[in-house]
Amino acid sequence: MSKAEFGKVLVYAQKIGADEAEVFFLDKQLVTVRMTGGQVLESKGVHDRGVGIRVVKDKCIGMTVTNDLTRESLEKTTKNALAIAKIRGPAKHWKSLPKPKKVKSVPRIFDKKVAEMDLEETVNLAIQMLDRAKDFSPKIVDVSGSLNVFTDNVHILNTHGVDVSQASTSILASITTEAEKGGSRSSGVGFQGSCSLKEFNPERVGEESADMAVRSLDAQKIEAGDYSLILEPFALAEVTSYVFAWAVISKTYQDKVSFFQGKLGKVVADKSLSIYDDSTMAGHLGATSFDDEGVPTRRVSLIEKGVFKNLLYDTFYASKDNAASTGNAKRAGDLLGRSYSSIPFPEPHNFVVDKGTQSKDELIEDTKRGILVGRIWYTYPLQPERGDFSTTTRSGAFLIQDGEIKKPILPVRIYDNLPRCLQNIGGLANDVKQVRPWFGYYLTASTIRFDGVKATPV
Amino acid sequence: MEDLAKAVMENALKLGAKYADIRIEQSRGEGFLLENGNVEQVSSDSTVGAGIRVLAKGAWGFYATTSLDRKSLLDATKRAYNMAVSSSQRVKEPCKLAPMKVVQDRDVIKVKKKMDDFPMEDRVQLAKDCDSAMRNVSKRIHRAAVSISGDTKKKLFCSTEGALIAHDMMKCYLSLRAVAHEAEITEDQYQLEGGTGGFEAIEKKNPIKLSQELARKTAELVKAPTAPTEEMTVIMDQDYVALLTHEIIGHPSEADRVLGKEAAWAGVAWWKGMIGQRVGSDLFNASDDPRIEGSLGYYKYDDEGVLAQEKVLIKDGVLVGHMHSRETAAIFGVEPNGGMRATSSQFVPLIRMGNTFIKPGDWTFEEMIEDVKHGIYAVGEKVPSIDNRRYNWQISSMWAYMIEKGELTTLLRDVTIAGTAPVFFKSIDAVGKDFILRPISSCAKGDPLQLMYMGNGGPHIRGRAQVIGTRGK
């Protein structure tokens, strides 16, 4: 679909009475290779393209979606957007769709080689991940995982003159490995993501996973009690995605259900902790020059040296607080990346936790009684308003005693309170990595230690 | 479209496919969110798509497209075939499909109030009435939110074996949310209703009354004490049982999970290899049955064209079966039982719950409660955390009551119940006759992740478990 065609949609919207209109066009190609039992389970591809059309009339906002891109369908869809906008009624706080602003391109988020990678090449990458894990040790008994390679081509225009487009590529790879020795079974996980083929090392994913599984053999049960909990980045990502994120989204705060309610500008965490949302990091997954409304992105400080600084805003929720969008409008969809079907909503692009000064080994040496963990599982806020969360250790869990890794441990359940954990940070390492949990947000962070966490054997 | 689907299947065979199927879908959806009397978001979508699955050289390939012209579908078939061939490089055990009865049929869901019979304006008015009902209950209700949505889908399934099934579906949802706030305590409670069929499915639930009850309880909760932390007798209501059943009976009953095929993300099943073994008390019976009309998990044929049926999972406390695809049925040496569903044509089908539930027993609620000296009555489901084997769980309830000397006493907020599947199942000593099926709208599985809708439920049940109070303030 050409730019001229988009322009015609905007002209048509105004012709039938819209004060403002916006076209969000997405063309997505996704290839997934899934592996299980040490073999390729399936390869699958999707080509999806369509538009979301948003119109505003007298502050009444309506959005409609279609993937029939004929002129007739687009006009019908626009007309329908105007009709449902009227049903909606006026949003008194509404100011306007974004006005054009200078967009600074984020480097290295598109790699032609990834966009043009043929199927065979993709399957071969998956097989390299698989083989490296399988061949790592004779103790490896099962390897599963997935490789997702996708390209998003997005184009956003509105009647105020916003006209931005961008292509981005992403490779997301994860391997879960199981090892066995004399009746003891353990698992490991490896994850890697990048925007370019050059920065992607499939063998490292397999090796990381197999290494963790083998090191975790002969796990033993530990006593229930209070421990220092040391989360590696992949484990921490479950906490930031499923527990932390919603507390800093403007909508949650406006609803007064954030566990940081009333704490803007106040201390909510140890002073060693700074968390940002940063979609401007070159070559990082989640990086984008503009958000899904065409607003230029920037680094948003959420917690700075322990102080709660900002909320994440899109245009709609920002107008409710008489604030500016922070460039966090996202249209997250069923498939990875963006979707043309979703209404914009404020969400993080890529959480960044400032690294510490010590190495991970030094952090461990500094720990009297702790649990080090590589992967946690099903981490959810059981009492979201309070920030209570529950999780179990799944892979790469070890007991630390007097500064040393003593032994791998069997799963434990952790039930604690995130605001309490954030006030009790025992240290931050400098082993920065970008990760993404199953359906969570990207996180760029290092290993972190929370003190006084309750753990109970499963 | 039928002729085109057949032509695409013929083409798949010519390419060398051993088996192929196509799902062509046309979907329409409308929804809105109303908060504190104002419509905040409104959207309408109309999309088409096709997904083609090919089995060749013992491996699966799949390709989905949003272009439904002949050329695009033939191109997609070729891509799906190439995907299968590429996958086959590393197939040690070629995929086999259990035989099934191939049918040509049409399944049209009974709908009284179609989308256009209950226009958006009327739906918004109903939502406004629910919203007022919630906010009029108490000044503590700081936010009321109501969302009503409906979607229709026409789906055509066609396979190289000659199956040709047309589905004409509609489902709708009503969600209610009440947030109460007072003296630094916030309570946020949510309730979902929904099913297959027209908007009459929502209306018959008496939305205004539901709204008032939800708001009343949420407002009371900000003044309620938190739960104690101790092991005790627990009676769970049908709503809590629905989530418990979903997480620790339904999911581990998916044969792909049992076989470790979902190990990377969704997890595995603790009862792998335990068919025929005792996993719970004699009173513990569970099944999956998609055939319940009006339920959110209703379907007549799954996405492999297999006729839906009751899948008995647990009988008198013994694990007796799993939910299957044709592929896993062949591995287990059983008949396929129709458990495969995909969220849309963009995805491959996976083994999914239809309606999974604990079967009713013969106790009344009054009988269950009268001999409990000290216990807790958990009402409603909130948030789950389960280990990756579906063995150990912690699930919060919306609220709870203390049970003392056979009577419900203090209302409690922030209640979490924890247990270990076999220990809890074996402790079940009373199963009610008051069976209810509840809607679950967004269950995650697969990679890329698919969110699926289904039904879960059961009657009141009684057992022993660990109760945990909040760690927050």
| Percent of chain A residues past pLDDT 70, beyond the cut | 100
* Chain B neighbors of A45, CB-CB under 8 A: 62-64, 79-80, 83
Backbone angles phi, psi at B354, to 5 degrees: -100, -80
Interchain pair B385, A87: CB under 8 A: no
Strand partners, A358: A429
Distance CA B103, CA B310 (A): 19
Interchain pair B62, A44: CB under 8 A: yes
Q: How do residues B307-324 score in pLDDT, each as one tens digit?
A: 999 999 999 999 999 999
Pairing status of strand B164-182 against strand B104-108? parallel
Interchain pair B385, A175: CB under 8 A: no
Candidates A341, A383, A389; nearest CB to B45: A341
- Only one residue has tokens 């639930």, namely B205
Asked whether B22 and B142 are in contact (CB, 8 A), the reply is no
Residue B194 neighbours by CB distance under 10 Å:
24
Distance CA B205, CA B148 (A): 13
Interchain pair A255, B143: CB under 8 A: yes
Query: Looking at residue A210, what is its pLDDT?
Result: 98
Report the candidate in A374, A384, A375, A394 with the shortest Cα–Cα distance to residue A417.
Answer: A384
Query: Looking at residue A335, what is its pLDDT?
Result: 72
Residue A128 neighbours by CB distance under 10 Å:
18
Asked whether A191 and A173 are in contact (CB, 8 A), the reply is yes
* Chain A neighbors of B48, CB-CB under 8 A: 67-68
Distances A54 to A27, A300, B28 between C-alpha atoms, Å: 18, 26, 17
Interchain pair A148, B448: CB under 8 A: yes
Mean pLDDT of B393-403: 96
Two tokens, residue B366: 């009054």
Residue of chain B whose Cα is closest to the Cα of A209: B264
Mean pLDDT of A162-168: 97
* Chain B neighbors of A1, CB-CB under 8 A: none
Confidence of residue A162 (pLDDT cuts 50, 70, 90): very high
Q: Which residue has the higher pLDDT, B451 or B90?
A: B451
Written as one letter, the residue type at B361 is G
Q: Which residues of B344-380 are buried (b: 16+ CB within 10 A; e: fewer)?
A: bbbbbbbbbbbbbbbbbbebebeebbeebeebbbbbb
Close Cβ partners of A243 (under 8 Å, ≥ 6 residues apart): A379, A380, A381, A387, A389, A418
Size of interface A-B (CB pairs under 8 A): 272
Distances B63 to A146, A149, A277, B4, B66 between C-alpha atoms, Å: 17, 14, 34, 17, 11
Query: Looking at residue A438, what is its pLDDT?
Result: 87
Crossing angle, helix A71-88 and helix B120-135, to 10 degrees? 30
Q: What is the DSSP string of B40-109?
A: EEEEEEEEEEEEEEEEETTEEEEEEES--SHHHHHHHHHHHHHHHHHHGGG-SS----------EEEEE-
Residue of chain B whose Cα is closest to the Cα of A261: B184
CA dihedral of residues B137, B138, B141, B147 (deg, nearest 10): 10
| Percent of chain B residues past pLDDT 90, beyond the cut | 93
DSSP A306: T
Residue B129 neighbours by CB distance under 10 Å:
14
Query: Looking at residue B264, what is its pLDDT?
Result: 86
- Only one residue has tokens 């057992």, namely B463
* Chain A neighbors of B93, CB-CB under 8 A: 37, 39
Query: Looking at residue A1, what is its pLDDT?
Result: 63
CA distance B43 to chain A (A): 5
Under CATH, which architecture does the B2-221 domain have? 2-Layer Sandwich (3.30)
Q: How do residues A356-414 score in pLDDT, each as one tens digit?
A: 999 999 999 999 999 999 999 999 998 888 899 999 999 999 999 999 999 999 999 99
Asked whether B7 and B70 are in contact (CB, 8 A), the reply is yes
pLDDT above 80 (res B470): no
Two tokens, residue B266: 């969704």
Q: What is the DSSP string of A164-219?
A: EEEEEEEEEEEEEEEEEETTEEEEEEEEEEESSSTT--HHHHHHHHHHHHHHT-S-
Interchain pair B385, A46: CB under 8 A: no
Query: Looking at residue B472, what is its pLDDT?
Result: 60
Confidence of residue B92 (pLDDT cuts 50, 70, 90): confident
H-helix or E-strand containing B13? helix B2-15
- Only one residue has tokens 């919060």, namely B396
Distance CA A82, CA A63 (A): 8
Query: Looking at residue A61, what is its pLDDT?
Result: 96
Pairing status of strand A307-308 against strand A163-181? unpaired
Residue intervals of chain B classified under CATH 3.30.2290.10 are 2-221
User: Alpha helices of B88-228 — where are they, by DSSP H?
Assistant: 120-135, 200-203, 207-221
H-helix or E-strand containing A315? helix A315-320
**What is the average pLDDT score of chain B?**
95
Report the candidate in A176, A174, A167 with the shortest Cα–Cα distance to residue A195.
Answer: A167
pTM exceeds 0.90: yes
Interchain pair B45, A64: CB under 8 A: yes
Distance CA A284, CA B406 (A): 59
CA distance B109 to chain A (A): 25
Interchain pair B418, A33: CB under 8 A: no
Mean pLDDT of B108-134: 95
Report how far apart the first and last C-alpha atoms of chain A are (Å, whole number).
55
Report how far apart the first and last C-alpha atoms of chain B are (Å, whole number).
59
Confidence of residue B90 (pLDDT cuts 50, 70, 90): confident
Interchain pair B87, A33: CB under 8 A: yes
Query: Looking at residue A119, what is its pLDDT?
Result: 87
pLDDT above 60 (res A45): yes
Distance CA B86, CA B100 (A): 27
Confidence of residue B14 (pLDDT cuts 50, 70, 90): very high
Close Cβ partners of B209 (under 8 Å, ≥ 6 residues apart): none
CB half-sphere exposure, A187, CA atoms < 13 A: 24
Distance CA B181, CA B5 (A): 56
Candidates A84, A122, A415; nearest CB to B468: A415
Query: Looking at residue B91, what is its pLDDT?
Result: 83
Distance CA A418, CA A412 (A): 18
Interchain pair B264, A35: CB under 8 A: yes
Two tokens, residue B322: 């799993």
* Chain A neighbors of B267, CB-CB under 8 A: 377
Reduced to 3 states (helix: H, G, I; strand: E, B; else coil), residue B439 is: strand
Interchain pair B394, A390: CB under 8 A: yes
Q: How do residues B17-37 score in pLDDT, each as one tens digit?
A: 999 999 999 999 999 999 999
* Chain A neighbors of B75, CB-CB under 8 A: none
Strand segments (E) across B370-471: 374-386, 392-404, 407-412, 415-420, 430-431, 436-445, 450-458, 461-468
Residue of chain B whose Cα is closest to the Cα of A437: B265
pLDDT above 80 (res B222): yes
Interchain pair B392, A61: CB under 8 A: no
CA A160 to chain CA mean position, Å: 30
Interchain pair A85, B42: CB under 8 A: yes
Q: Is it true that the peptide bond before B448 is cis, omega within 30 degrees of 0?
A: yes
Report the candidate in A457, A455, A255, A260 with the shortest Cα–Cα distance to residue A370.
Answer: A455
Torsion B8-B11-B12-B13 (CA) sign: positive
* Chain A neighbors of B89, CB-CB under 8 A: 40, 123, 127
Candidates B143, B392, B470; nearest CB to A392: B392
Given the cut 0.90, state whether the ipTM is greater than it.
Answer: yes
Candidates B64, B392, B416; nearest CB to A46: B64
User: What are the structural domains, with CATH classification, of chain A?
Assistant: 3-215 (3.30.2290.10), 225-457 (no CATH)
* Chain A neighbors of B84, CB-CB under 8 A: 43
Interchain pair B392, A390: CB under 8 A: no
Q: How do residues B48-62 score in pLDDT, each as one tens digit?
A: 999 999 999 999 999
Angle at A329 between CA A326 and CA A334, to 5 degrees: 150
- Only one residue has tokens 């305590």, namely B185
Mean pLDDT of B60-65: 96
Close Cβ partners of B35 (under 8 Å, ≥ 6 residues apart): B131, B143, B144, B145, B146
Two tokens, residue A455: 């753990």
Interchain pair B264, A454: CB under 8 A: no
Residue of chain A whose Cα is closest to the Cα of B62: A44
Selected residue of B222, B383, B442 to mutate for chain A interface (largest A Cβ count, 10 A): B383
- Only one residue has tokens 């389970």, namely A41
Strand segments (E) across B269-391: 286-288, 311-315, 318-319, 340-341, 350-351, 355-358, 374-386
CA distance A342 to chain B (A): 9
Candidates B91, B143, B448; nearest CB to A335: B448
Candidates A39, A144, A390; nearest CB to B264: A144
Residue of chain A whose Cα is closest to the Cα of B417: A382
Interchain pair B384, A142: CB under 8 A: no
pLDDT above 70 (res B122): yes
Distance CA A126, CA A117 (A): 13
DSSP B251: G
Q: How do residues A87-121 score in pLDDT, each as one tens digit?
A: 888 999 999 999 999 999 999 999 999 999 988 89
pLDDT above 80 (res B180): yes
Interchain pair A67, B49: CB under 8 A: yes
CA distance B444 to chain A (A): 9
* Chain B neighbors of A389, CB-CB under 8 A: 385
Confidence of residue B473 (pLDDT cuts 50, 70, 90): low
Interchain pair B346, A120: CB under 8 A: no
Interchain pair B43, A390: CB under 8 A: no
CA distance B23 to chain A (A): 14
